[in-house]
Amino acid sequence: MRRSGKAGISWPCQELTSDPLLKFFQPGSTSLLEQKLCWHYNWNKNWDALLPKTTPDLHIDVEFVPMIFAPEYLEDQYDLQSGASCLLGYNEPDHHDPQVAVQTSVATAAAGWVELSKLRSTRGVKLVSPAVSFDIDWLKSFDPDVPPPQSQQQVHNFMGQATKWLDETDYIIKYAWFGAVRDPENLHGVHPFNRLMDEQGEITSFT
């Protein structure tokens, strides 16, 4: 089995040490797991912050992917692990058992999502949606509740950053900004701050 870059393993902080986790990744192992696994997580921001019995010089040579367990963990005392390709969203926010999750309403989760996204070191770090335990309706309701931009200036700033990146990236051959419409119905849910033309057919100051 070849490593695809997808398969990982979870390790609970209740174990108090990450030492046994190393066995899944030891070089030279003939185990199918060792040959396939290439990342791990432990429901926390940092790979050893809540595992006090971990050997100080322990080194696990695969990617650790941090998680923001719940909105209230955004501002706890632990540093976010650097160098990860992804940042995992909330853990089972729909679950009612406090032993495994922090039950969180869609509105509360969405309110913290903008701050969570700011924790990424670069835009290249993928932001992974909350992992629900069973309530698909919770997840379906989540995205529409993410707060919209608070001002046209915010969208203007983003447009400047995005188009600069698009212009400077060789493999992007063409792009087009959506928002050149007169009838608001033709925005199809896109925020009016994106408009390049008003209802009278005049080009907006956004350009």
Reported as a single tens digit per residue, the pLDDT across 72-113 is 999 888 889 988 999 999 999 999 998 889 999 999 999 899
Alpha-carbon distances, residue 158 vs 122, 124, 177 (angstroms): 14, 15, 12
Structure token digits, residue 198 = 């008003």
- Burial classification of residue 75, based on how many CB atoms lie within 10 Å of its CB (0-12 exposed, 13-18 middle, 19 or more buried): exposed
Separation of alpha carbons 42 and 37, rounded Å: 15
Percent of the chain whose predicted confidence (pLDDT) is above 90: 40
- Domain locations along the chain: 8-145, 152-194
The whole-number average pLDDT for the span 172-177 is 85
Lowest mean pLDDT among 2-6, 13-17, 35-39, 190-194: 2-6
Please report the pLDDT score of residue 191 as a whole number: 83
